């Protein structure tokens, strides 16, 4: 096999290797970062945190209502028990009783509001849990596919490395150095096929003498326009 053909094989192998590496990185990124699951989990945790705060506020408000109710009952006993005869003292007691009852009513209304909010949040949490469960079910299927793809890509990359080493071992050193120099400035495209008398790299018609030499495959022939190594298809 001539050197130009070997260099073309090397180029194709390197491009496939690079493509496999990039794809493997994307697969690994997907395996490590399940954004849909993370977002769903975040929404669920936010709901659970809100629920915990509301439940804490509910307990605190219930305690306040209980304390106000007990105080109101104690004041009623004093007010209607007949132990207080002084009219001024009775009037003050009545005002305090009314104030306590108003406070109790306000707290009870606030408690009802909290309970309504808790009900809404619990419904939301139930929906979020169901969504998360569905995402986890879908992710398990996707994860298996990604893991299989990862295994396949790793095997492909290992094979490409081996092929690279085998090709490098049989390519002339000077030709290999030329290939490396050309690759750097041409996005890895150092070798171009001859297609209908044209260079596939720059699509310029190759002079007849170069075309003939390239087809013989005895020497490395470069395109007179883009300087890529020409390989007979």
C-alpha span between 69 and 105 (Å, rounded): 10
Residue 112 shares a structural domain with residue 88: yes
* Tally of CB atoms within 10 A around 164: 15
Q: Is residue 29 part of a domain?
A: no
Q: Indicate the number of domains in the chain.
A: 2
Across the range 185-203, mean pLDDT stands at: 92
Residue 73 belongs to a domain with what CATH number? 1.10.287
Q: Count of CB atoms within 10 A of residue 174's CB?
A: 10
Mean pLDDT score, 93-118: 94
Q: According to the model, what pLDDT value does residue 1 have?
A: 78
At 67 the pLDDT is 95
Does the residue 182 lie in any domain?
no
**Residues 39 and 97 placed together within one structural domain of the fold:** yes
Q: Residues 210, 114: one domain?
A: no
Indicate if 166 and 207 belong to the same structural domain.
no
For residue 119, being part of any structural domain is answered with: yes
Q: Is 88 contained in some domain?
A: yes
Residue 97 lies in a domain: yes
pLDDT value, residue 12: 96
| Among the ranges given (5-14, 81-90, 122-131), the one the predictor scored with the smallest mean pLDDT | 81-90
* Sheet containing 198-199, strands listed edge to edge, beginning at the edge strand earlier in sequence: 198-199, 191-195, 229-232
Taking only the tens place, the pLDDT of each residue in 12-23 is 999 999 999 999
Residues 111 and 212 in one domain: no
pLDDT for residue 152: 97
Chain-centre distance for alpha carbon 222? 46
Backbone angles phi, psi at 199, to 5 degrees: -80, 125
- Indicate whether this model's pTM tops 0.85: no
Does residue 176 form part of some domain? Answer: no
- From 171, 195, 213, give the residue that closes a domain: 171
Q: Residue 204 gets which letter from DSSP?
A: P
Claim to verify: residue 83 and residue 124 sit in the same structural domain: yes
Kindly state the tokens that stand for 134: 């569905």
Q: Are residues 216 and 110 in the same domain?
A: no
With contact defined as beta carbons under 8 Å apart, do 206 and 214 qualify?
Answer: yes
User: For residue 53, what are its two tokens?
Assistant: 């705060």
Q: Structural domain of residue 199, as residue ranges?
A: 187-232
Is the pLDDT assigned to residue 193 strictly greater than 90?
Answer: yes
- Please give the average per-residue pLDDT across 81-93, as a whole number: 75
Q: Is residue 83 part of a domain?
A: yes
Do 129 and 213 reside in the same domain of the chain? no
Tell whether 74 and 114 lie within a shared domain: yes
Residue 106 lies in a domain: yes
């Amino acid at each position: 096999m001539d050197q130009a053909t070997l260099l073309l094989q090397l180029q194709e192998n390197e491009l496939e290797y690079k493509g496999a590496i990039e794809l493997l990185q994307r697969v690994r990124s997907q395996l490590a970062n399940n954004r849909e699951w993370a977002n769903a989990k975040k929404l669920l945790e936010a709901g659970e945190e809100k629920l915990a705060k509301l439940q804490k506020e509910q307990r605190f408000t219930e305690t306040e209502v209980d304390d106000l109710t007990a105080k109101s009952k104690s004041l009623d006993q004093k007010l209607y028990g007949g132990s207080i005869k002084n009219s001024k003292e009775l009037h003050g007691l009545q005002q305090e009783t009314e104030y306590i009852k108003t406070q109790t009513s306000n707290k009870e209304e606030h408690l009802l509001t909290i309970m309504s909010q808790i009900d809404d949040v619990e419904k939301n949490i139930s929906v979020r849990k169901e969504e998360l469960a569905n995402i986890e079910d879908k992710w398990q299927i996707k994860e298996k596919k990604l893991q299989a793809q990862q295994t396949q890509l790793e095997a492909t990359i290992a094979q490409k490395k081996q092929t690279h080493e085998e090709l490098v071992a049989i390519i002339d050193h000077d030709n290999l150095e030329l290939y490396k120099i050309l690759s750097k400035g041409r996005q890895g495209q150092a070798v171009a096929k001859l297609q209908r008398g044209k260079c596939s790299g720059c699509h310029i018609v190759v002079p007849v003498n170069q075309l003939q030499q390239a087809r013989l495959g005895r020497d490395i022939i470069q395109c007179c326009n883009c300087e890529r190594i020409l390989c007979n298809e």
